[in-house]
Amino acid sequence: MPTMKPAAFQPITHALIRRALKWAVLCTLVFGGLQAWLAYQNVQRDFQSAVRGIATTHVPLLSLAIWDIEPRAIQGQIDLLLESSQIAYASVKVNTGQQFAGGKAGVLNGGTTLRFQIPPPNKQVGAIGTLELVLDRSVLYRQLIHSVLLVLLESIVLTALLLGTGVLILRRNLAQPMRQLAEFVTSLKADNLSPRLQLERPAGHSYDEIDMVAEGFQTLQASIQRHISTLDAQVQERTQQLETALASLKTLSGSDQLTGCYNRSLFSERFPSEMNRAQRYAHPLSVIFCDVDHFKVVNDTHGHLTGDRVLAMVGHCLRQELRAEVDWVVRYGGEEFLVVLPETALPAALEAAERLRLGVRRGVRLQLDDRTQLQISASFGVAEREAADDMASLVQRADQWLYAAKRGGRNQVQPQR
């Protein structure tokens, strides 16, 4: 199965800032456009109000000049009107047919024209002339551009300040704690979950979702530690149970179920170590070969169940007469037993064999169904390890002495002391 390529790391604050920036730009364009339109309306209204104010100031003076028929004064008022940057062209039409004008005649077709009636000085009803003012649109446009740019600049600066403040807040209150959480989780090892999570938060901050995440992680960490401790205890308990079971199994696999003695396979596994130890430290080692006398007759006459009882009682007697945790006895085959005596020279081994013979003779007695008593004896052959001996030769010499005991009449120990 192909491995997936990990996604590139992208800080959450960068993603949030980009999203906030998109919405901020959109809001800036919307609200900036609205403010620009309002600024346009205000500039245009103020522009025309200023022109009307100028016209209102000059209309009475023009009224006097027309009433007194003073052409120079009329032209002088027109020149004064043209000094205002908002007015590109001005003209006075007198009812008598005279006309006075001044300014840029090229703006007449595209400019905005404002007309004002010139009343007579004595406030009589009617008009003695008309004042026409053509507004300078370039001045209006410059004012509009200036106002709109100022509004947009204010919006941009305000947006930048808000975004900058938001970035600082996000980094301090979100990015830094989240990075601490990520670094802490990354630093944890499977064999060491004990480090505690300590977040560096601003002083006086309120309890928030990051604190909830940190507490949740601490709770999870504690639960995992408790679970691991429980698992360790369970593993230790299971290990002890397994070791006990293995020891029991090993004991069972190395024991003869009928007699309770060790079996032949364990002898083959353990006896070489006894030989090596005796040779390495030059310590004595003896073995005793034991054979139940007339065992075939017991089986043929009284049955195999009685024979099994005899073997079990012989094995028990042999184990009872040996040194605990030092000597050991093996059911070598059929009715034959082999006793291993570490740290034991031949004289002591012969004494031990005689003790075993007497123990079997006194201890192995069976009450049969016909109320007769069956008494069992055994023959013993003893040999001590010599320098040239290996395992087979030592056992063979003990076996030879066993057959010597059987040929000599049974129920005895050979060689004689």
232-248 pLDDT, tens per residue? 777 788 878 877 667 65
Residues 272 and 410 both lie in one domain? yes
- Residue 167 has a pLDDT of 73
Q: Is the domain of 400 the same as that of 292?
A: yes
pLDDT at 8: 60
The pLDDT of residue 352: 97
**Per-residue pLDDT, 136:** 72
**Which of 102-111, 181-190, 256-265 ranks highest by mean pLDDT?**
256-265
Ramachandran assignment for 298, one of left (phi > 0), alpha (psi -120 to 50 degrees), beta (any other): alpha
Task: Examine residue 322 and state whether it is found in any structural domain, yes or no.
Answer: yes
The confidence band for 6, taking pLDDT boundaries of 50, 70 and 90, is: low
pLDDT at 274: 96
Task: Determine the length of the chain.
Answer: 417
The reported pLDDT for the residue numbered 73 is 84
Q: Which domain holds residue 343?
A: 264-414
Q: In what order do the strands lie in the sheet with 129-135?
A: 99-103, 87-94, 129-135, 113-118
- Are 132 and 93 in a shared domain? yes
Residue 200 lies in a domain: no
pLDDT digits (tens, 9 = 90+) for 313-367: 999 999 999 998 999 999 999 999 999 999 999 999 999 999 999 999 999 999 8
How many domains does one find in the chain?
3
Query: Regarding predicted confidence, which is higher, 239 or 374?
Result: 374
Q: Which residues are catalytic?
A: 335
pLDDT of residue 183: 72
Domain identity same for 243 and 275: no
Same domain (yes/no): 340, 229: no
Does 112 or 296 have the greater pLDDT score?
296
Judge contact between 390 and 275, C-beta under 8 A.
yes
pLDDT score recorded for residue 7:
56
Same domain, 242 and 317: no
Is residue 395 in some structural domain?
Answer: yes
Position 259 pLDDT exceeds 80 = yes
The pLDDT assigned to 144 comes to 72
Residue 277, pLDDT score: 95
Mean pLDDT of 152-180: 75
Do 226 and 298 fall into the same domain? no
Residue 70's CATH number: 3.30.450
Nearest to 129 by CA among 155, 158, 99, 106: 99
Q: How far apart are CA 63 and CA 130, in angstroms?
A: 10
* Mean pLDDT comparison of 26-30, 128-132, 170-174, highest-scoring range: 128-132
pLDDT at 40: 74
Query: Which of 79-88, 101-110, 220-229: highest mean pLDDT?
Result: 79-88
Q: From 230, 252, 274, give the residue that closes a domain.
A: 252
Q: Which of 61-65, 202-206, 267-271, 289-293 has the lowest mean pLDDT?
A: 202-206
CA separation for the pair 323, 321 (Å, rounded): 7
Alpha helices (H) along 171-208: 176-187
Res. 110 pLDDT band, cuts 50 70 90: low
Give the other-Cβ count within 10 Å of 232's Cβ: 10
Tell me which of 153-162, 173-182, 264-273, 287-296 is least confident. Answer: 173-182
Check residues 81 and 307 and name the one with the higher pLDDT.
Answer: 307
Percent of the chain whose pLDDT exceeds 70? 85
Three-state DSSP state, 181: helix
Mean pLDDT of all residues belonging to the chain: 83
Instruction: Supply the DSSP string of 261-294, one letter for each residue.
Output: SB-HHHHHHHHHHHHHHHHHHT--EEEEEEEETT
Could you tell me if 330 and 239 lie in one domain?
no
Can you give the CATH number for the domain in which 394 is found?
Answer: 3.30.70.270
Q: pLDDT confidence of 285, banded at 50, 70, 90?
A: very high
- pLDDT at position 237 is 82
pLDDT by residue (tens digit) across 175-193? 777 777 777 777 766 666 6
In terms of DSSP H, where are the helices of 284-329?
A: 295-302, 304-320
